[in-house]
Amino acid sequence: MKKKTICDIDWQGKKALVRVDFNVPLDKTTGAITDDARIRAALPTIQYLLDHGAAVILMSHLGRPKEGPDPKYSLKVAADHLATLISAPVKFVGQTTGPEAEAAASALKPGEVLVLENTRFDKRETKNDPTMAAELAKLGDVYVNDAFGSAHRAHASTEGVARLLPAVAGFLMEKELTYLGKALENPERPFIAILGGAKISDKIGVISNLLKKVDAILIGGGMANTFLAAQGFNMGKSLVETDALDTARDLLAKGGDLIHLPVDLRVADAFAPDANEKVVPVNEVPVDWMALDIGPATIAHFANRLAGAKTVVWNGPMGVFEFPKFAQGTFAIAEILAGLQGATTIIGGGDSAAAIREAGLEDKMSHVSTGGGASLEFLEGIELPGVAALNDK
């Protein structure tokens, strides 16, 4: 970990301007938070700052407000929830920058928390507008980025303001960079990557980068269909990226024995939770059926490859895990990883993290990333703007 962290700063009497990831899922009807994992993930950083004499100012985006401020995406819901999780006073201001936000920040005392309104209510945020960054910088003395899930975005609150204040990593950011960094730079071997999800096109860079580093890549999910089609198998009505077939062939040629594909598939006669389903070898997908999960022989094959692994990175489900019938492959992989002895298991955010939580196995993994897109770009070897902007040790 080459970046400075909150432990490198004397916080007594200082205002910490902290970028957190409070982009939590909300119930469409009630607006209530349905999963507070991202808020809880920020608690160690917030508590450390409070314990060391700082006043803490938090900023985050929430959802994708289209035309400026939208009450259903107000961060007040996150501020109210945070107040139930810590003993410090939590205040909220309905502005992100400007006189009202400055007055609230100025009045904040050590040991208190202020939550700013949704950064994306200001259209300058996603443009990384320097005037917005300067307005944010007025609010604090030191900038802390603890939002790994947004670190791949060069926005005013993730990159712009970090150029204007002393800028350090929070504990969550440090943990993400340490686990993912060690996996890529100095993994204990055997090092195995498991990749799933719908599309190859989303993960071309990741596969290319990992092929130079891993001992095996196990591929499931919709992206496996495209690889199988590239090998000449008829995939019926399965999702296949026809414009990525040449890319798949190139990756298979480059990957050689490192890439492991399904040997059987759980197929369905419709894309529906109650569809008829059966297991078939990869060369026997019926014309009008579609692959929605890996089959039991593939699970066994992947289990053999994972036996004895010392480092595993998993990004993307093995099938349509929202449908219980087609979640068997994803949950089987989760169980296999939970049972590995002496291995570092890293779950790369997004749907994989959701599946691990749904399976109740989060505490059995070494690290569950809070950033889907950010962890993908990190695994691809891309420098994340929100990380690059932090001060080096």
Q: Is the model's pLDDT at 139 over the cut of 80? A: yes
- When pLDDT is averaged across residues 300-322 and rounded to a whole number, the result is 96
Active-site position among 316, 350, 372, 386 = 350
Q: Which tokens in the block code for residue 101?
A: 């936000």
Parse the chain into domains and list their residue ranges.
6-171, 179-379
- Residue keyed to tokens 């003993």: 87
Active-site position among 76, 91, 182, 199 = 199
Q: Is the model's pLDDT at 1 over the cut of 80? A: no
Q: What pLDDT shows up at residue 371? A: 83
**pLDDT tens profile 141-182:** 999 999 999 999 999 999 999 999 999 999 999 999 999 898
167-169 and 142-145: which strand pairing? parallel
Query: Which helix H or strand E contains 199, and what residues bound it?
Result: none
**pLDDT tens profile 39-86:** 999 999 999 999 999 999 999 999 999 888 999 999 999 999 999 999
Please indicate whether residue 349 is annotated as part of the active site.
no
Please indicate whether residue 38 is annotated as part of the active site.
yes
Active-site position among 111, 181, 373, 381 = 373
Q: Is the model's pLDDT at 350 over the cut of 80? A: no
Mean pLDDT of the chain: 95
Task: Let me know: does 9 contact 168? Beta carbons within 8 Å.
Answer: yes
Q: What pLDDT shows up at residue 381? A: 86
Superfamily of domain 6-171: Phosphoglycerate kinase, N-terminal domain (3.40.50.1260)
- When pLDDT is averaged across residues 310-323 and rounded to a whole number, the result is 95
Q: Is the model's pLDDT at 336 over the cut of 90? A: yes
Q: What pLDDT shows up at residue 172? A: 96
Q: Quote the CA–CA distance of 84 and 104 in Å, as a whole number.
A: 21
Task: Let me know: does 311 contact 191? Beta carbons within 8 Å.
Answer: yes
Between 373 and 65, name the one with better pLDDT.
65
What percent of the chain stands above pLDDT 90?
Answer: 87
Q: Is the model's pLDDT at 200 over the cut of 90? A: no
Same fold, 6-171 and 179-379: yes
pLDDT band per the 50, 70, 90 thresholds, residue 201: confident
Q: What pLDDT shows up at residue 351? A: 84
Q: Is the model's pLDDT at 199 over the cut of 90? A: no
Q: Quote the CA–CA distance of 166 and 233 in Å, as a whole number.
A: 56
The topology (CATH level 3) of 179-379 is Rossmann fold (3.40.50)
What is the 3-state secondary structure of 45-111? HHHHHHHCCCEEEEECCCCCCCCCCCHHHCCHHHHHHHHHHCCCCEEECCCCCCHHHHHHHHHCCCC
Q: Is the model's pLDDT at 195 over the cut of 90? A: yes
Between 181 and 262, name the one with better pLDDT.
262
pLDDT band per the 50, 70, 90 thresholds, residue 373: confident
**pLDDT tens profile 225-258:** 999 999 999 999 999 999 999 999 999 999 989 9
Q: Quote the CA–CA distance of 210 and 207 in Å, as a whole number.
A: 5
How many CB atoms neighbour CB 164 within 10 A?
15
- When pLDDT is averaged across residues 316-326 and rounded to a whole number, the result is 95
Residues with Cβ within 8 Å of residue 107, at least 6 apart in sequence: none
Q: What pLDDT shows up at residue 151? A: 95
Exposed, middle or buried by CB within 10 Å (0-12, 13-18, 19+), for 149? buried
Rg over CA atoms, the chain? 22
- When pLDDT is averaged across residues 272-281 and rounded to a whole number, the result is 98
Q: What pLDDT shows up at residue 37? A: 87
Q: Which tokens in the block code for residue 303?
A: 């289990």
Q: Is the model's pLDDT at 203 over the cut of 90? A: no
pLDDT band per the 50, 70, 90 thresholds, residue 375: confident
Q: What pLDDT shows up at residue 138? A: 98
Q: What pLDDT shows up at residue 298? A: 98
